[in-house]
Amino acid sequence: MRIALSQRITYLKGRAYDATEHGWYNLLAGHNLFFVPNTLSQDFDLVAENSDSFIITGGDDSDLRRTVELRLASKMMQLNKPVVGICHGAFLLAEMLGAEITEIDNHVGMDHPIFYHNEVLEVNSYHSLGIKSMPNKVDVICKDYLGNVEAFIDGNLAGIVWHPERMENPWIPPEIAFMLKI
């Protein structure tokens, strides 16, 4: 599988750098990874054609990053290829789908339980936002103890609010793992 991954933008001494968390290398070992640069001058059609799926990774938001991610996500959707958002990416896709997103307290830098069907699992949290509700057409597959959406699927779009790449024993809902073929 050739998986495209978005990158956060970091700044050092007035210069912008694209950055990817190293946890992705282990989580997606055995797949060909392509790191999408945060530039608008790339050929988004070509990137989408040459990628089997696109993961919008977590990390800080910026106008440039958001524009790059939405352009590539749109191209992938036109080709009916999977797009999965992690944390920042999940909120971006949820917003695109028309979800209700609000600020939440006491949810940053902690582990907490989520509910997946009849199972209770422990995941991490690095966000101060919560997805309160999704449109009816979206399949909510995980919620947290406050009722916030933690994972969802809508056709070939999916979101995971926690960071599986940061977990000692990474867990991705099987429906999403199957979609990504990982």
* Coil vs helix vs strand at 151: strand
What are the tens digits of pLDDT across the range 66-76? Answer: 999 999 999 99
pTM for this model (two decimals):
0.96
What is the average pLDDT across 163-179? Answer: 96
Q: Percent of the chain, pLDDT > 90?
A: 93
Residues 6+ apart with CB under 8 A from 138: 97, 99, 152, 153, 154
| Euclidean distance between CA atoms 91 and 159, whole angstroms | 8
Q: What does each C-alpha distance from 122 to 21, 106, 110 come to in angstroms? A: 21, 16, 10
DSSP 64: H
What are the tens digits of pLDDT across the range 88-134? Answer: 999 999 999 999 999 998 888 899 999 999 899 999 999 899 999 99
| Euclidean distance between CA atoms 131 and 149, whole angstroms | 5
Give yes or no for a contact between 72 and 48, defined as CB atoms under 8 angstroms apart.
Answer: yes
